[in-house]
């Protein structure tokens, strides 16, 4: 474990940016502001606050999109997940989608209330670059980059103290740049991948692939209520803003959006 002092944080006191949406949300929630990188992931806590990772910024809003906290973070902060008062972020300070020796993979842990950095943990097992992260059954799971030529994806399992336990394989075939986002919800694992079109992988608890769908959740996916997930999408012409849409499981599509997205945004890059 590597400990570190927290980064400075900025608490905004601008007028509230509020959409007239009920909780749980039906439709879209926009994160106010424009950031240094595109949206990498989203997560939500039990109070329905939403956390957004924009590569070089972490942002916390309420469930209506009101900005609560924003901090600057090192590039590349990827997907994130919430558990028991903390936000866990998959971080790669090296290169993605390369063979072993080029990535510098970490899990950064932030206090969910303040976004102060609590600790950071090296995860060298994610040899192609840590990019996505999920929490399930008292364990943390990391996914990430993938070089061309591979026909499977990998999931790295850690205990609650972020000690490596094992690597799992998903027989998914090659997906562009591996897996970007991860979430366990409704009794299944959901993984968002880049591609044209973007791909959604659905797997059981043992990471057996159950479905592969043309569905875009490569910029974020998390559980929001018992029967609802949130899907992250870009917003704005430069792709440096974000929004979330409500989604529910669909027997043929994997997931289906409830509501309409206003702007697809720019094509994401690493």
pLDDT at position 207 is: 98
- Least confident stretch, 127-141, 225-239, 243-257: 225-239
Q: What is the mean pLDDT of residues 8-20?
A: 28
pLDDT at position 239 is: 73
pLDDT at position 260 is: 52
Q: What is the 3-state secondary structure (H, E, C) of the chain?
A: CECCCCCCEECCCCCCCCCCCCCCCCCEEEECCCCCCCCCEEEECCCCCEEEECEEEEEEECCCCCEEEEEEEEEEEEEEEEECCEEEEEEECCCCCCCCCCCCEEEEEEECCCCCEEEEEECCCCCCCEEEEEEECCEEEEEECCCCCCCCEEEEEEECCCCEEEEEEECCCCCEEEEEEEEEECCEEEEEEECCCCEEEEECCCCCEEEEEECCCCCCEEEEECCEEEEEEEECCCCCEEEEEEEEEECCCEEEEECCCCCCCCCCCC
pLDDT at position 269 is: 58
Q: In angstroms, rounded to a whole number, what is the distance separating the alpha carbons of residues 266 and 97? A: 21
Q: In angstroms, rounded to a whole number, what is the distance separating the alpha carbons of residues 9 and 154? A: 34
The per-residue pLDDT for range 109-134, each reduced to its tens digit, is 999 999 999 999 999 999 999 999 99
- Least confident stretch, 47-51, 95-99, 116-120, 223-227: 223-227
Confidence band, pLDDT 50/70/90 cuts, at residue 27? low
Q: Which pTM does this prediction carry? A: 0.88
Average pLDDT value for the chain: 88
The per-residue pLDDT for range 75-115, each reduced to its tens digit, is 999 999 999 999 999 999 999 999 999 999 999 999 999 99
The per-residue pLDDT for range 165-216, each reduced to its tens digit, is 999 999 999 999 999 999 999 999 999 999 999 999 999 999 999 999 999 9
Domain range 40-227, CATH architecture? 6 Propeller (2.120)
Q: Is the pLDDT of residue 237 over 80?
A: no
pLDDT at position 127 is: 98
Q: Is the pLDDT of residue 48 over 90?
A: no
pLDDT at position 18 is: 24
Confidence band, pLDDT 50/70/90 cuts, at residue 268? low
């Amino acid at each position: 474990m590597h400990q570190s002092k927290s980064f400075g944080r900025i608490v905004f006191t601008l007028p509230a940016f509020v959409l007239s949406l009920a909780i749980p949300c039906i439709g879209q929630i926009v994160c106010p502001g424009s950031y240094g990188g595109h949206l990498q992931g989203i997560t939500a806590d039990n109070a329905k606050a939403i956390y957004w990772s924009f590569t070089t910024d972490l942002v916390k809003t309420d469930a209506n999109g009101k900005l609560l906290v924003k901090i600057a973070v090192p590039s590349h902060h990827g997907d994130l997940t919430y558990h028991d008062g903390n936000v866990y972020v998959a971080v790669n300070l090296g290169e993605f989608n390369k063979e072993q020796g080029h990535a510098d993979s970490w899990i950064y842990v932030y206090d969910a209330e303040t976004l102060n950095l609590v600790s950071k943990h090296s995860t060298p097992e994610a040899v192609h670059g840590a990019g996505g992260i999920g929490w399930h059954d008292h364990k943390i799971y990391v996914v990430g980059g993938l070089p061309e030529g591979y026909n499977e994806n990998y999931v790295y399992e850690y205990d609650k103290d972020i000690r490596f336990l094992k690597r799992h394989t998903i027989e998914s075939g090659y997906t562009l740049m591996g897996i970007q986002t991860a979430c366990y919800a409704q009794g299944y694992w959901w993984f968002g991948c880049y591609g044209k079109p973007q791909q959604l992988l659905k797997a059981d608890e043992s990471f057996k692939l159950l479905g592969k769908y043309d569905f875009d959740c490569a910029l974020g996916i998390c559980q929001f209520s018992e029967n609802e997930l949130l899907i992250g999408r870009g917003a704005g012409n430069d792709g440096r803003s974000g929004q979330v849409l409500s989604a529910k499981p669909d027997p043929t599509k994997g997931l289906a959006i409830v509501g309409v997205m206003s702007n697809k945004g720019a094509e994401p890059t690493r």
